[in-house]
Amino acid sequence: MDEDAFRDQGLTRPKVLMVVPFRESALRVVHILIALLESASQKKIDVSNKKRFKGEFGSNPEEKPPNLKRPEDYEATFAGNIDDHFRIGVAVLQKSMRLYAPFYSSDIIIASPLGLRTVIGAEGENKRDYDFLSSIEILIIDEADVYLMQNWEHVLHLINHMNLLPLASHGVDFSRVRMFSLNNWSKYYRQTLLFSALHHPQISSIFNKHCFNYRGQVAVRNAPLTGSISHVVVQLPHVFRKLEADSSVSVIDARFNFFIDKVLPEYRDAIMTHTLIYVPSYFDYVRLRNYFKKEELNFAHICEYSSKSGICRARHLFLSGEKQFLIITERFHFYKRYSIRGIRNLIFYELPTYPHFYSEICNMVKLAGMEGEATLTCTAFYSKYDAQKLAAVVGVERAAQMLQSSKNVHLFVTGGTE
């Protein structure tokens, strides 16, 4: 008899890794697993440590935030326990399920990128472990777009440690280990399922560069036909200005130089007050903030690390006109969704990661509370490397025309006269 018939194991026990952003997501996954196991066996299964799990992963009704009006996507993303540092092993037994199983006794691992990063560690650290990732056969990365707002480096760090040969044997019976595991070919047999609410180059990079299954790949994408600009209800001229750059790296400096040389001088005039600058990248935000400080421009700034009092002060100074510019980061908007009042001029330093943020920010202009007539403007920068983001904002057909056009400026007008 062929001895390979007896080879039915990997080098370590865990077979499935589910990466989710929040404890609430892990709670839902475990509930689904229990429901699936019970429907298969037609009777209730015994779940060990269920009370502890509910206490650590459930939400406390008393901790619910104040009843502020937030968009539907915000309510869906931030429902329940939104702690992003966790990991839990799940062992599936014949008639039961064990939660909080040690990783090397688990079949399924459910964790956040941060929760895994603190175990995997970094090169040179004494206490680090990633052997449990060696024989993962199914990798599920759910809500991948949320990790762009957390720390994408943790996702890349995890991916780079998948399906490596373990440093220790962990009591494995090598006579039962499949040959592809022994030959270090596990990554060619791993199934990777990647789910995201949006298209993004960094998410596509995982798909293109880190998914090696020998059977190939399948991608299903929704093509945005109209774009989020169609949801802008304010009467507003939108000027899209094209940047020229030789690479996706050089576009960072090209954007900064274009902004300070060509765009900012137009807004320094006293009549161009109440200018909001929306910056997706935190590094770009720091660079702009430092430049504004050096040039002694009259501005306020808010990021995801700003204190509550700092946010209130900046919003008040901007609304009253005491500060001409307000610079905000995309992550601040993602995590807080505060309405910024007093906007007359909008600058999208880079197109938003989430397309609906474009219309959300533009629609804040109607919250200005201004007396009489006021000139409103909206300017957005894009390059050929922003094709996906541009299509999500203006629609696929318009984006293709704008990218192929010899013109570097395109104008759209939204809203109607009352």
- In order along its 418 residues, the chain shows pLDDT tens digits of 566 677 888 999 999 999 999 999 999 999 999 999 998 878 899 999 999 999 999 987 665 555 667 889 999 999 999 999 999 999 999 889 999 999 999 999 999 999 999 999 988 888 899 999 999 999 999 999 999 999 999 999 999 999 999 999 988 889 899 999 999 999 999 999 999 999 999 999 999 999 999 999 999 988 787 899 999 999 999 999 999 999 989 999 999 999 999 999 998 876 778 999 999 999 999 999 999 999 999 999 999 999 999 999 999 999 999 999 999 999 999 999 999 999 999 999 999 999 999 999 999 997 655 555 568 999 999 999 999 999 999 999 999 999 999 999 999 999 865 4
pLDDT at 102: 96
Tell me whether residue 277 is exposed, middle or buried, using C-beta atoms within 10 angstroms of its C-beta: 0 to 12, 13 to 18, 19 or more.
buried
pTM of the predicted protein model? 0.91
pLDDT at 237: 95
Question: Interior CA angle at 279 toward 234 and 361, to 5°?
Answer: 20
Give me 229's structure tokens.
Answer: 């600009």
The C-alpha atoms of residue 270 and residue 84 are separated, in whole angstroms, by: 44
As annotated, the residues of the chain forming the CATH 3.40.50.300 domain(s) are 228-414
The C-alpha atoms of residue 69 and residue 398 are separated, in whole angstroms, by: 33
Please identify, in words, the CATH class of the domain defined by 228-414.
alpha beta
Amino acid identity for residue 304 in this structure: E
Amino acid identity for residue 293 in this structure: K
pLDDT at 222: 85
